[in-house]
Structure 1
């Protein structure tokens, strides 16, 4: 292949690699989330009270989120100093190895307290890995994108999330059909062990993508900085704060409608595990189809305007969702959850391209990583815990959960409004925000 032909194919290749790589990373992350809702409480945090076991299990799930900012700092620094590609290869290796180790981990009944301790440590490794993954994947796709197509190409990194969710749901739907004793004894481990195959596939695909052309130009011009994260907070602290807020519903919404919804519907609505997994599988397909269409629409009407509209819709969406979910009917539940997910997913598909244009190239990996991952630690990590607490506190009442979801979407809406206003104020800066 000639260099010229290879160069023309690199944008598509980079977008595909971003999609495949993040799909694998999120598959690993989601199977942990599903296992946390279904089995980890029983196996690693045994208790006479299912509420206590579930809370302890979700606490380890939250630990992964709290480790994500550390991953954002570490790999943001590496990505801004030595390159996006090298950082991404490392995060993929870390995630794959940690996930396989979870699948091999003995239960509490076998090794006692060592089991939950090792589970938490592996969860920390997962959190660090995914904390460095997202920013690099977004940038590899966005910085390879043709002129004017940043929003659409960056959305392929976001598309890995629903694809990973679909794979994880397929995997767990298969093993939950096993007899309960076999599922608890060894069946739940299979989705984790399959990650070894996905890891090899991901590495082979990423090896074929060139380094980001924008990073290469920045490196040649010698405009890289010694400590990117310090430069971010020195020059763009306010932007980081509002980018954290802007990501809220895109992150928290996923874990509300998926991870928390599994435990809520099985414990409080009375549906079976297999039924809610089937519902979430159907909704994940809807999300997967929605996101690229949303990115294309956002390119037509403007990113900021589209984000404001979808955040507003997300504020309204939990009320019809809970009304329909309470029925326990599969079709109604799919429609209800899909209403919320379409609004959330449309926002999520566009927010990556929007924030990737906020910061200068020399600190971009660090800036968007820390913004996204701090939000993940707070909004993503705590959402299942807060949801579980509200469901227990207000047993039989869904409206506090709906209000909680509305507040999450409201934070994103307010943050986008402020970021859009700051964009216009900084229009005279040499590296202004991306086109609306």
Structure 2
């Protein structure tokens, strides 16, 4: 069941992140032209990125709603609902008429569908992580949590591949119907994910809490009353996960194709190569953390990212396909290996009775404050200064936020464990590493 839970977590999050990432790609390539045609192209991209952020605004609310359901009723039931909700919403975007057909109603509906996407993914990640980590043998939560984290590069690969294929179409076909195909394909993926998720058992830790009458009545209230500091540190720890992903897959796509002269299909190939690299090398972060200690490994990875993130932007700015691939792949490695460890670290920081709510809230708030704003802030800095250097400065700041946040989170969790704080079936990895 541990292996089955890991696979179910991986497949489900792959589908959810595919749905979420294709919106980011479409916001860089399509939505400004089709849904906001009355403004300048640069402003259209900026407004499109603002709708992208709307999905992140809804993520903490999704974490609260589905966290409450997951902590009180069941992780599995919450995950099935989020998968269906995301699938219906994504297909809806693929069927949405454009501004030319229905006027201002088109962008309004686009924003509403994006809000529902945000609600769904806000509840998805925490449940997927817990299905994997709470079925794991003791001491293996970091490795098991990396199953859920593999969904992100898988979703990126599927998203980049889908848009790389439809980008081969002539512009008229691409803008009239080709861009819709990646969204409509979600229907097939959701059916697959639903079949797999129905086959897994409920989390044994939640089952034990129900049997012993220890289920939290108000998980959100309990989280804020006893674990606010840990939630804040979880937000900081997650910063680079979001900023790096959306600098690469959303902002850089717009920057490269609109400012640097890259062909659409060429830069989507750059993103695809980086995503494939992430898929194969990301799990080594969890392996290294289990072998050498979480604290040492995450520190080394984030310190390495400090020079590599600026290098990525500088190499892309050369306009060379080869250098862009080299820059994006090199900068991808440290933060994705850190990402594979993050799920286990967050899950281990909170007691099981509020764990779904707490980690969803930490991750969702990071998405709202950092992830959703990244393309918009990047575009604002680029437009205002005419230079990529301020963008690089913001990217480095988010790396530092994660470095300080995760080290403090590990220290707090270790002290709580040493003091005998009431916790339910933690992995022991975080505390032992301290």
Asked if structure 2 preserves the Cα contact closer than 8 Å seen for 1:17 and 1:209, the reply is yes
Q: What are the ranges of 5 or more consecutive residues in structure 1 without an aligned counterpart?
A: 1-9
Aligned equivalent of 2:273: 282
Which whole-Å CA distance do the structure 1 matches of 2:282 and 2:213 have between them? 37
Aligned equivalent of 1:430: 422
Q: Show the 5 A alignment for 1:8-23.
A: 10-23=1-14
TM-score by length of 1: 0.96
Q: 1:411 aligns with which of 398, 401, 407?
A: 401
Asked if structure 2 preserves the Cα contact closer than 8 Å seen for 1:91 and 1:132, the reply is yes
Which whole-Å CA distance do the structure 2 matches of 1:162 and 1:332 have between them? 21
Q: 1:337 aligns with which of 328, 337, 347?
A: 328
Asked if structure 2 preserves the Cα contact closer than 8 Å seen for 1:304 and 1:354, the reply is no
Asked if structure 1 preserves the Cα contact closer than 8 Å seen for 2:349 and 2:409, the reply is no
In structure 1, the residue corresponding to 2:244 is in which secondary structure?
A: helix
**Worse overlay, 98-107 or 141-150:** 141-150
Q: 1:184 aligns with which of 172, 175, 196?
A: 175
Asked if structure 1 preserves the Cα contact closer than 8 Å seen for 2:57 and 2:372, the reply is yes
- The structural deviation recorded for 1:190 is 0.6
Q: Show the 5 A alignment for 1:117-156.
A: 117-156=108-147
Asked if structure 1 preserves the Cα contact closer than 8 Å seen for 2:345 and 2:410, the reply is no
1:230 maps to 2:221: yes
Which whole-Å CA distance do the structure 2 matches of 1:419 and 1:30 have between them? 28
Which whole-Å CA distance do the structure 2 matches of 1:372 and 1:306 have between them? 21
Where does structure 1 differ by over 4 angstroms across 4 or more consecutive aligned residues? none
Which whole-Å CA distance do the structure 1 matches of 2:41 and 2:193 have between them? 38
Which whole-Å CA distance do the structure 2 matches of 1:346 and 1:211 have between them? 28
In structure 2, the residue corresponding to 1:258 is in which secondary structure?
A: helix
- The structural deviation recorded for 1:310 is 1.3
Asked if structure 1 preserves the Cα contact closer than 8 Å seen for 2:139 and 2:429, the reply is no
1:307 maps to 2:310: no
- The structural deviation recorded for 1:248 is 0.4
- The structural deviation recorded for 1:434 is 4.2
RMSD between superposed Cα atoms in Å: 1.1
Which whole-Å CA distance do the structure 2 matches of 1:399 and 1:52 have between them? 21
1:356 maps to 2:347: yes
- The structural deviation recorded for 1:303 is 1.6
Which whole-Å CA distance do the structure 1 matches of 2:13 and 2:20 have between them? 10
**Worse overlay, 105-114 or 421-430:** 421-430
Aligned equivalent of 1:204: 195
Count of equivalent residues = 426
Q: Show the 5 A alignment for 1:28-47.
A: 28-47=19-38
Aligned equivalent of 2:237: 246
Aligned equivalent of 2:211: 220
In structure 2, the residue corresponding to 1:269 is in which secondary structure?
A: coil
Aligned equivalent of 1:4: none
Which whole-Å CA distance do the structure 2 matches of 1:231 and 1:217 have between them? 19
Which whole-Å CA distance do the structure 2 matches of 1:123 and 1:199 have between them? 17
- The structural deviation recorded for 1:305 is 2.1
1:259 maps to 2:232: no
Which whole-Å CA distance do the structure 2 matches of 1:135 and 1:303 have between them? 20
Q: What are the ranges of 5 or more consecutive residues in structure 2 without an aligned counterpart?
A: none
1:297 maps to 2:288: yes
In structure 2, the residue corresponding to 1:131 is in which secondary structure?
A: helix
1:100 maps to 2:91: yes
Q: String of CA shifts for 1:37-66, please: whole Å, max 9, x gaps.
A: 000001101134111100111111000000
- The structural deviation recorded for 1:90 is 0.1
